[in-house]
Amino acid sequence: MAGGSSQSGMKAALVLTGKRFASSLLTLLLVSVTIFVIAQLLPGDAAQEALGQSATPQQIAALRHDMGLDRPAYVRYASWLTGMVSGDPGQSLVANMPVSEVIAERLPNSLLLAALTALVAVPVALAIGIGSAMNRGGRLDRALNVVTLSMVAVPEFLVATIAVLIFSVKLRWLPSIALASEEMTWGDYLRGVAMPILTLSVIVIAQMARMTRAAVIDQMDRPYVEMAVLKGVAPVQVVLKHIMPNAIAPIVNAMALSLSYLLGGAVIVETIFNYPGLASLMVNAVTSRDMPLLQACAMIFCAAYLLLMLIADVTAILANPRLRAQ
Amino acid sequence: MIASSLSRARTLPLSGQVGLALVLFWLAVALFGPMLAPYPVGAFVAYDVFDGQSAAHWLGSDYLGRDVLSRLLSGARYTVGLAAAAAMLASATGTALALTAAVGGAKVDEPLSRFMDMLISIPSKIFSLVLVAAFGSSLPLLLLIAAITYVPGNYRIARALAVNLAQMDYVQVARARGEGRFHIAIAEVLPNMIHPLLADFGLRFVFIVLLLSGLSFLGLGVQPPDADLGSLVRENISGLGEGALAILAPAVAIATLTVGVNLLIDALPGRGKGR
């Protein structure tokens, strides 16, 4: 790889990354249209909901005008979108305060939960995935395959229920409800969120370990690994020195993809443990049909999902040796 | 016919046989379960709530003193029936659109595929929550919501298969022979994608069972007096502190159903690679 060609390779990779980024933004825009349209399909509107059955048509019309609901749909979409982008997604109908304030209160909790879960899940999943790839076809590999395959299909609330039964009912180690508040010390907080983290980790680890195994095995089938094995390199060295440098990008890709399972899992786990995060807020918004809040939460989740997909794809682009060598 | 299926089942690895047994068991429960129930579904039959196992109540009693086994047998019908119907609707719609895209040329394929790509980038739980908030959650609507949520996933897989097949020589021959697009899609392309599509159907079924029980667990799915397995977990959540069988039994029931399907699909030879 000469200097000049590697530079043009970098350029090509940057161009691809830029294109990928632009297409993510476009997708996010289309997603916002979809969510807005679905949310508007609601029979009756917020004004009617707020005033109840006994309101006169004049009252409803007046409130609709105040809320801006009498404007055409595309005007409302444009004002909602500009509001979203500038950090003001409207007024929560139920909490009667700006959506941005409600979300600002909950979002850090969810981010912290996700970060702690990733901290637990990533090393464990790496160990399981690599271990099972090294033992390919062996007893350990087959056992781990059945276990992770089963865990992928187990509902989150069963994992949560079993965790509560073991750790708070039988052993009495942990509280069964997670409460995050300002006065809590870190120790209290960790004890409180231990079970949500455990539950989420179990779900994510299964997915992540399977994808890690697949990424490592994909490398194991390459000729350079056969070469290393034939010249007598020890199996652990083959994995650490030969396979891992090449498998890192596919593994990061797998991590980003499987972390997206956190988003769906959080919906159930935050609710069952009463954790004051964004996902349980969104469930409340569905129950109370608080559309502005629901739309904002949905957009945040979709943006997070697209970001993870973007990271996964960009790692794949940057790691593509054909691009580097061009 | 039965003999050949039996010998085929024997060639499955052990995990696949366990999976097949679980799937057949739950199909039988969904079909005949309500007939076998020892008590009427809504009847208050036990004196105590959250009773443990006993001869009269094999799985104990629930938070109102109803028989858990009877409720589970009837709940399984909702879970299996709704999910199977929704998975069929999702697969049929996704595959029909995929075939249209594959034989329709770039003019049809491009916009349809871009649209599906967009839908697939909304996480399924989030998408279904928005749909539930907009439409509500009666049984037909739940079926429709679950189906809509999983159409894009099936479309992506079916389109990849169909586009590959549409390039094959025998399809080109059929085109040259002057066959119409409909004939090519149904008679030439579709028969060769059945096997991977069946595996994908199994995956959709698992996703939909988990989605619907998750929604019911949140109180946004099947509404009382109807109850699927997820609703049973939700209504007995107050028994969690005492480790009641009433909450564990339906949760384990869902897990055995979905794990069974997963093990079976994984053991099938030449399975399709779904997401």
Question: What is the per-residue pLDDT across A143-165, written as a single tens digit (0 to 9) for each?
Answer: 998 888 888 888 888 888 888 88
Q: Give the mean pLDDT of B211-236.
A: 88
Comparing A105-109, A273-277, B4-8, the range with the smallest average pLDDT is: B4-8
Average pLDDT, chain B: 85
CB contact under 8 A, A27 and B217: no
Measured in angstroms, the CA of B254 and the nearest CA of chain A are apart by 7
Residue A77: other Cβ atoms inside 10 A: 16
Which pLDDT value is given to residue B91? 95
Question: Nearest CB to B248: which of A155, A161, A264?
Answer: A161
Task: Report the predicted TM-score, pTM, of the whole model to 2 decimal places.
Answer: 0.86
Provide, as residue numbers in chain A, all residues whose Cβ is less than 8 Å from the Cβ of B119. Answer: 34
At B170, the amino acid letter reads Y
* Burial (CB count within 10 angstroms: exposed 0-12, middle 13-18, buried 19+), residue A42: middle
User: Residue A244's pLDDT band (boundaries 50, 70, 90)?
Assistant: confident
Question: Nearest CB to B133: which of A145, A152, A286?
Answer: A286
Q: What is the pLDDT of residues B168-178, one digit of tens each?
A: 888 888 888 88
Cite the DSSP H helix spans in chain B: 2-11, 14-36, 68-104, 106-120, 124-135, 139-166, 169-176, 181-183, 194-217, 229-235, 245-267
Question: Nearest CB to A149: which of B132, B242, B266?
Answer: B266
Dihedrals φ, ψ of B38, to 5°? -70, -25
pLDDT tops 90 at residue B150: yes
Q: What is the pLDDT of residues A53-67, one digit of tens each?
A: 677 778 778 877 777
pLDDT tops 70 at residue A237: yes
B205-215 burial, b for 16+ CB within 10 Å, e for fewer?
bbbbbbbbbbb
B119: Cα within 13 Å, side-chain hemisphere: 20
Cite the DSSP H helix spans in chain A: 3-40, 46-51, 57-67, 73-85, 99-134, 139-153, 156-164, 186-220, 223-230, 235-237, 244-259, 261-272, 278-287, 291-319, 321-325
Which pLDDT value is given to residue A1? 41
Which pLDDT value is given to residue A45? 62
Better pLDDT: A221 or A322: A221
Better pLDDT: A178 or A84: A84
Which pLDDT value is given to residue B261? 92
Better pLDDT: B36 or B249: B249
Measured in angstroms, the CA of B122 and the nearest CA of chain A are apart by 6
CB contact under 8 A, B240 and A149: no
Measured in angstroms, the CA of A308 and the nearest CA of chain B are apart by 11
Q: Give the mean pLDDT of B241-247.
A: 78
Question: Nearest CB to A286: which of B129, B242, B243?
Answer: B129
Mutate which of A267, A281, A299, A306 to disrupt the B interface (most B C-beta within 10 Å)?
Answer: A267
Residue A44: other Cβ atoms inside 10 A: 9
User: Residue B272's pLDDT band (boundaries 50, 70, 90)?
Assistant: very low
- DSSP secondary-structure letter at B187? I
Which pLDDT value is given to residue A42? 65
Provide, as residue numbers in chain A, all residues whose Cβ is less than 8 Å from the Cβ of B264. Answer: none
Q: Give the mean pLDDT of A294-323.
A: 85
pLDDT tops 80 at residue A320: no
User: Residue A70's pLDDT band (boundaries 50, 70, 90)?
Assistant: confident
Comparing A39-53, A250-264, B78-92, B191-205, the range with the smallest average pLDDT is: A39-53
Which pLDDT value is given to residue B273? 40
Average pLDDT, chain A: 83
User: Residue A321's pLDDT band (boundaries 50, 70, 90)?
Assistant: low
pLDDT tops 90 at residue B96: yes
Nearest chain A alpha carbon to B205 = A153
Q: How far apart are CA A270 and CA A280, in angstroms?
A: 6
pLDDT tops 50 at residue B143: yes
Dihedrals φ, ψ of A275, to 5°? -80, 125
Which pLDDT value is given to residue A47? 67
Which pLDDT value is given to residue B22? 92
Which pLDDT value is given to residue A50? 67
Q: Give the mean pLDDT of B187-198.
A: 88
Q: What is the pLDDT of residues A300-311, one digit of tens each?
A: 999 999 998 898
CB contact under 8 A, A42 and B251: no
Q: In the block, which residue shows the tokens 């970098």? A: A10
Which pLDDT value is given to residue B188? 86
Which pLDDT value is given to residue A5? 55
ipTM above 0.85, yes or no: no
Which pLDDT value is given to residue B4? 65
Comparing A49-53, A266-270, A305-309, the range with the smallest average pLDDT is: A49-53
Q: Which of B41, B40, B46 is nearest to B65 (CA)?
A: B46
CB contact under 8 A, B117 and A165: no
SS3 A52: coil
User: Residue A7's pLDDT band (boundaries 50, 70, 90)?
Assistant: low
Task: Report the percentage of chain A scoring pLDDT > 70.
Answer: 88
Question: Nearest CB to A268: which of B133, B214, B247?
Answer: B214
- DSSP secondary-structure letter at A182? T
CB contact under 8 A, A154 and B263: no
Dihedrals φ, ψ of B94, to 5°? -60, -45
Q: Give the mean pLDDT of A38-54.
A: 69
Nearest chain B alpha carbon to A41 = B134
Q: Give the mean pLDDT of B152-168.
A: 90
Mutate which of A31, A159, A286, A309 to disrupt the B interface (most B C-beta within 10 Å)?
Answer: A286
